Amino acid sequence: MPQAQTRAVCAPDAARSGATLKVTSRTFSDGAMLQSEQVFQMCGGKNVSPQLSWSGAPQGTKSYAITCFDPDAPTGCGYWHWLVFNIPSSVTSLDAGAGKSDSPAGGESGYSDFGMNSYGGPCPPKGHGNHHYIFTVYALDVDKIPGVSNKTTGATLVFSMRGHVLASGSITGLFGH
């Protein structure tokens, strides 16, 4: 079975504060396999976004953004599974299943590579080995990211966050079949 080649996730910028957010989940542990509940329906799952919590935001945090990215997808540029932004700074967790909404925790959902404004779980090609699903939380210095909407893609979101990232942190789940 060929092993997927991991690619780095490009960050919008280095975090200005030097702080790192601590990101955890009651659904999975960092580096552990994601369960069928999180997997996309076309791959036999239930497509339920995992529970996520974060802490350690620096002073001046006004909102959060969350992405789920698979750098191992055989596209040459990875695959965006979930984009959520403009989450109020008072929110420090998302419940499991929050990704079904187009406005999780008061935020907004962008346009994933599945072509939808909601969570799209793992669905790598069969026999492609385990893929890494990197859930990254960004603490931002703006209430609303300028120029983004429900049509915003992963590349545009990352570009639009440039200069606004105070801190970030991530947790990675694995899946392959």
For residue range 40-67, what is the model confidence (pLDDT) as tens digits? 999 999 999 999 999 999 999 999 999 9
Return the pLDDT at 124: 94
Choose the CATH number for 19-175 among 3.90.280.10, 3.40.630.30, 3.40.50.10490, 3.50.50.60. Answer: 3.90.280.10
Closest to 167 in 3D by CA, of 134, 133, 136: 136
How far apart, in Å, are the Cα atoms of 172 and each of 86, 106, 112? 22, 24, 18
Return the pLDDT at 2: 47
75 contact partners, CB below 8 Å, separation of at least 6: none
Q: What tens digit of pLDDT does each residue of 108-155 get?
A: 999 999 999 999 999 999 999 999 999 999 999 999 999 999 999 999
Only one residue has tokens 């055989």, namely 74
**pTM score, two decimals?**
0.93
pLDDT grade for 10, boundaries at 50, 70 and 90:
low
